Amino acid sequence: MTEIRNDWTKEEISEIYNSPLLDLIYRSASVHRENKDYSEVQISSLLSIKTGGCSEDCSYCPQAARYNTGLEVQALMSLEQVTFAAQKAKDGGASRLCMGAAWREVRDNRDFDKVIEMVKTVNSMDMEVCCTLGMLTESQAQRLADAGLYAYNHNLDTSEEDYKRIITTRTYDDRLKTIENVRKAKLTVCSGGIIGLGETVEDRISMLKTLSNMPKHPESVPINALVPVKGTPMENQPLVPIWDMVRMIATARIIMPKTVVRLSAGRTQMSLTDQALCFMAGANSIFAGDKLLTTPNPEFNEDMQMFDILGLKPREAFKNGRPAVRETVEL
Ligand code: SAM
Ligand code: DTB
Ligand code: SF4
């Protein structure tokens, strides 16, 4: 069994990332097969429970109020709407529902009370529940955990060095602090990044170092390819070459062998063959359903056809235990 390390250096990660592509894929696929049932893919469905109007200036994001992206702002959904969407996602084969809100941070108000109810309801429907709501305090993380939340998504997005170029309204430390609060509440951590923001290879390596040097690796690491959205500062960014996506996924797989690596945003820009390479390189999760948060994603049926062709199968919910018993099982 591959050793879990939290002391990867930039040099080591860089050597892996820059190794000849086929050697890299061979190595990451081997690590994947040693550590995981490689044919099992965890499926999450995204639901934007509060859309647009965000006060942050993340330069990739269509939901930032300051960019004219033509997005319709929507207030927090009702519990009924969420229940309906959760059932639809479950029927489509998703084992996890990830609810996203375009908030800078969570505030202790009625909206948060409503989100707590949503978490309880989706949890009672036998789905893993994930939230991504912006910054959290320790007590807010604890409230979410008590309601049955399974995972919290909070991405680093890029390297510490590159952060100011992408976002000025918060710091890298703010991001790390929330992740720490999530850990303190014993929630599982989902944290990754975006490639295609104009970052350098060194930035990618630096971000992977931060993730892999955390005291405990995130249980899931989403690798997003930028979806360039008109009206955002990143609208003219060229599409990410598939080889960069494969290198990121393979490197994440090798340095965080037990982590679920998610082939996240950007799949509509990829062929089936492209995606097959990503699964071969060690990706073992996707977002399914025809929408990400605000941008398109392949249809459930298309993905199921892809699974059939590639011999992949969806992972069932709570394979690693329910939140209440989570401490006793290996994640
Ligand atoms: N507001 C919360 C936050 O920032 O953590 C949660 C929602 S935010 C939309 C979640 C993540 O979506 C971001 O961290 C970023 O990684 C991803 N994202 C947003 N816009 C994207 C885009 N155009 N392409 C790829 N990923 C994107
Ligand atoms: C993640 O890493 N990617 C998802 C999820 N976590 C929240 C979001 C992707 C958003 C893509 C742009 C949009 O649809 O708005
Ligand atoms: Fe707001 Fe999150 Fe979008 Fe940043 S990424 S603008 S915090 S919704």
User: Would you state the pLDDT for residue 323?
Assistant: 63
CA dist 44 and 47 (Å) reads 10
Domains located in the chain, CATH noted: 10-314 (3.20.20.70)
Beta strands in the chain (DSSP E): 40-50, 96-101, 128-132, 151-153, 188-190, 193-195, 220-225, 260-263, 285-288, 313-314
Distance, CA of 320 to chain centre? 18
C-beta of residue 209 within 8 angstroms of C-beta of residue 254: no
Non-local CB neighbours of 226 within 8 Å, separated by 6+ positions: 60, 194, 195, 196, 197, 234, 237, 240, 265, 266
pLDDT tens string 39-71? 899 999 999 999 999 999 999 999 999 999 999
Q: Which residue among 47, 56, 59, 60 has the greatest number of ligand 1 atoms within 8 angstroms of its CB, and so is best to mutate?
A: 60
**Nearest atom in ligand 2 to 98's CA:** 7
What is the C-alpha end-to-end distance of the chain, expressed in Å? 15
**Nearest atom in ligand 2 to 194's CA:** 2
User: Would you state the pLDDT for residue 324?
Assistant: 55
- Per-residue tokens: 326: 């989570």
* Torsions phi, psi for 170 (to 5 deg): -155, 170
Non-local CB neighbours of 212 within 8 Å, separated by 6+ positions: 5, 6, 8, 13, 255, 256
Query: Which regions in the chain score pLDDT beneath 70?
Result: 1, 317-318, 320, 322-331
Nearest Cα neighbor of 44 from 259, 283, 265, 287 is 287
Of the candidates 96, 98, 143, 278, the residue annotated as catalytic is 98
pLDDT tens string 103-135? 999 999 999 999 999 999 999 998 999 999 999
The answer, yes or no, to whether any atom of ligand 2 lies below 6 A from the CB of 190, is no
The answer, yes or no, to whether any atom of ligand 1 lies below 6 A from the CB of 134, is yes
Q: Which residue among 59, 69, 188, 224 has the greatest number of ligand 2 atoms within 8 angstroms of its CB, and so is best to mutate?
A: 224
User: Would you state the pLDDT for residue 12?
Assistant: 98
* Torsions phi, psi for 262 (to 5 deg): -105, 120
- Per-residue tokens: 55: 């006060």
